[in-house]
């Protein structure tokens, strides 16, 4: 069981390392949110599952925390991305599926930065 627990821990560490690399290398907030969402969901849950296998006395708490993370972390990532899109944060990706479908919010900070550029 220790080997299985360590495998899950290393999978979580690997996802975290790849996610950090994605946060540094990806071009805009939307792709960075995708990288951080994978880290927070898959990486954290894998580390929690590995810890639950290695420490059976805390397994119930760790599994409950993993279920809570699976339910809430993707929702928070989506909410941040939706707020950024509605605020008019520009995309550097090649395709915008929501173009013309959502009402964008004009904020003084973003409109003054756009006029200065």
Say what angle helices 44-54 and 2-25 make with each other, to 10 degrees: 160
- CA 53/CA 50 separation, integer angstroms: 5
What is the chain's mean pLDDT, rounded?
84
For 11, the domain range is: 2-116
Residue 108 above 70 pLDDT? no
Give tens-digit pLDDT for 55-82.
Answer: 999 999 999 999 999 999 989 988 988 8
Per-residue confidence at 104, pLDDT binned at 50, 70, 90?
Answer: low
Entry pTM: 0.72
Residue 111 above 60 pLDDT? no
Per-residue confidence at 102, pLDDT binned at 50, 70, 90?
Answer: low
The pLDDT of 31-41, averaged and rounded, is: 85
* Number of domain units in the chain: 1
């Amino acid at each position: 069981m220790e080997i299985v627990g360590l495998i899950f821990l290393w999978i979580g560490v690997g996802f975290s390392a790849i996610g950090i690399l994605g946060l540094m290398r990806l071009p805009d907030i939307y792709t960075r949110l995708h990288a951080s969402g994978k880290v927070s969901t898959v990486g954290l849950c894998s580390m929690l599952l590995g810890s639950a296998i290695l420490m059976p006395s805390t397994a119930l708490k760790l599994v409950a925390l993993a279920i809570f993370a699976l339910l809430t972390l993707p929702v928070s990532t989506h909410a941040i991305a939706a707020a950024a899109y509605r605020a008019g944060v520009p995309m550097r990706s090649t395709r915008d599926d929501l173009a013309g479908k959502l009402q964008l919010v004009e904020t003084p900070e973003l409109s003054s930065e756009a006029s200065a550029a």
